Amino acid sequence: MFRKFYRTIAASPPRILVLGFAAIIFLGAGLLMLPFSHANGEAPRFIDALFTATSATCVTGLVVVDTGTYWTMAGQIIILSMIQIGGLGFMTMATLFAIFLKRRISLKERLVLQEAFNQTSIEGIIRLVRKVVIYALTIELVGAVLFSIRFMFDMPVGEAIYKGIFHAVSFFNNAGFDIMGDYRSLVDYVGDPLVNIVTMLLIILGGLGFVVLADLVDIRNPKRKLSLHSKVVLSMTGFLIVAGAVVILLFEFSNGRTMGPLNFGEKLLAAFMQSVSPRTAGVNTVDLAGLRQATQFVIVILMFIGASPGSTGGGIKTTTFTALVGAVIAMVRGKEDVVLFKYRLAQERVYKALTVTLFAFGLVILATMILSTTEDHHFLMILFEVTSAFGTVGLTMGLTTQLTLAGKIIIILMMFIGRLGPLTLTYALGPKQGRLMYRNAEGKIIIG
């Protein structure tokens, strides 16, 4: 019976991903329950440990207890380990160990890696894993050094180095966890150019996707050109960052609770940080609850779009959003094909983009409706929290610490689904469909 069960779950790469992430989450929750993990001597409730482990493994950043004060250094290191494994993917880490041990990577493992990185084939997947690890560790190391140097002006050297490493890993993996204490995030550094710029670069590099990073590194070769995927990701990422910053700056320029007291340079930094962070990072330098409702809704939209495929971030992804925009433009212009950078997208890609978006939209709406009945809070506050969980962002207007037991369970599920992707979870849970050998007759309905 157990052998049959194993064959069933091992037959599907999506199922392996789902079970793998679930195993890491429950293992992490168990470790956080141990006495050496929590600082106040009283074990946390299991739901709080599970919430924290899910948020760390799914690189979200929503917390029900303050990371910097509630957990000991051992607990924080456990959280940081889950962030690293969750950001790079447990299969990436397992493959890395296999490479060190000089063990052959099986076809099944390559298929799981293909699913994890959203690749269309297994060709070159092991080379990609090596690049992922090298790029991630290099970028995190540079970020840790820069953070540590800056923090040394505010705290002892040892503490500065520790916080530098923690925040570099957390921000590159778009996790949003911080250990500044009292849920402050980076509010104390709202006008600090170094901290803001390094944080934004870590978030952006982590959210571009490792395929794009590899493309950018290889572009030094004159024979290599950027792929269509990289062009779409870079152009849409740049557009969303700039457009988001401009809108946020306009809405919050005179808001006394957020950017009003800042000088113009600090307002620019704050606007760009609040535009970059919703792309699944969860870092804030102003009080999100003090933002105007229009700004909060803009951030909800940015969180829903999220980062890019194959990255450490969540959301429906920039490429999905681009495909939908391209489809709308093609329809308005009376064109049959969606064309991006002179390349035509296959209809299958447009259908998948539409499916992902509708699935995500339905999940966010359903979870928001449920939380609206379990939590006694403003609707926009609840929508903000749910979208943040689904997009694995980690930003909150203050609802996370006030969630009921039912609310915590819903947010845990949303973080888990958001990290894996709704389609991956659907493929994992649904029965395997055989290929149809026929097509139905064409019918017509009136649209619009």
pLDDT at residue number 201: 93
- Extract the tokens encoding 431: 């029965």
Backbone angles phi, psi at 339, to 5 degrees: -115, 125
Task: Check whether 348 has a pLDDT greater than 50.
Answer: yes
Closest CA to 53 of 69, 39, 40, 37: 37
The answer for residues whose C-beta is within 8 angstroms of residue 149's C-beta and 6 or more apart is 160, 164
- The mean per-residue pLDDT over the stretch 420-434 comes to 61
Sign, CA dihedral 70-73-74-77, equals positive
pLDDT at residue number 9: 47
pLDDT at residue number 99: 57
Distance of alpha carbon 52 from alpha carbon 64, whole angstroms: 7
Task: Check whether 229 has a pLDDT greater than 70.
Answer: yes
Of all residues in the chain, the percent with pLDDT exceeding 70 is 82
The more confidently predicted of residues 285 and 1 is: 285
**DSSP letter (8 states) at residue 363:** H
pLDDT at residue number 132: 77
**DSSP letter (8 states) at residue 45:** P
Task: Check whether 46 has a pLDDT greater than 70.
Answer: yes
pLDDT at residue number 11: 53
Task: Check whether 223 has a pLDDT greater than 80.
Answer: no
pLDDT at residue number 1: 42
**Residue 91, Ramachandran bin (φ over 0: left; ψ between -120 and 50: alpha; else beta):** alpha
> pLDDT tens digits, residue range 176-207?
898 887 777 888 888 899 999 999 999 999 88
Other CB atoms within 10 A of residue 234 CB: 17
Longest dimension (CA), the chain: 73
- The mean per-residue pLDDT over the stretch 44-70 comes to 91
Q: In the chain, where are the structural domains located?
A: 2-428
Task: Check whether 375 has a pLDDT greater than 60.
Answer: yes
Task: Check whether 419 has a pLDDT greater than 60.
Answer: yes
- The mean per-residue pLDDT over the stretch 318-334 comes to 91
Of all residues in the chain, the percent with pLDDT exceeding 90 is 44
- The mean per-residue pLDDT over the stretch 43-65 comes to 91
- By mean pLDDT, which of 38-47, 291-300, 316-325, 435-444 is the weakest? 435-444
> How far apart, in Å, are the Cα atoms of 169 and each of 72, 88, 147, 176, 378?
18, 11, 11, 10, 33
Distance of alpha carbon 54 from alpha carbon 392, whole angstroms: 10
Other CB atoms within 10 A of residue 441 CB: 4
Distance of alpha carbon 393 from alpha carbon 279, whole angstroms: 7
How is 316-362 classified by DSSP, letter by letter? S-HHHHHHHHHHHHHHHTT-SSEEETTEEEPHHHHHHHHHHHHHHHH
pTM of the model: 0.88
Q: What is the mean pLDDT of the chain?
A: 84
In a 3-state reduction of DSSP, which class is residue 223? coil
Closest CA to 238 of 276, 264, 206: 276
- Extract the tokens encoding 221: 């070769």
Closest CA to 30 of 42, 18, 46, 19: 46
Answer for the pair 310, 284: CB distance below 8 angstroms, yes or no.
no
The answer for residues whose C-beta is within 8 angstroms of residue 208's C-beta and 6 or more apart is 233, 234, 237, 307, 308, 311
Other CB atoms within 10 A of residue 398 CB: 14
Q: Which amino acid is at 115?
A: E
Query: pLDDT class for 5, splitting at 50, 70, 90?
Result: very low
Q: Which amino acid is at 148?
A: S
Task: Check whether 401 has a pLDDT greater than 60.
Answer: yes
- The mean per-residue pLDDT over the stretch 220-244 comes to 87
The answer for residues whose C-beta is within 8 angstroms of residue 448's C-beta and 6 or more apart is none
The more confidently predicted of residues 108 and 385 is: 385
Query: pLDDT class for 405, splitting at 50, 70, 90?
Result: very high
In a 3-state reduction of DSSP, which class is residue 7? helix
Query: pLDDT class for 425, splitting at 50, 70, 90?
Result: low
Distance of alpha carbon 215 from alpha carbon 101, whole angstroms: 28
- By mean pLDDT, which of 182-191, 267-276, 359-368, 373-382 is the weakest? 182-191
Answer for the pair 397, 385: CB distance below 8 angstroms, yes or no.
yes
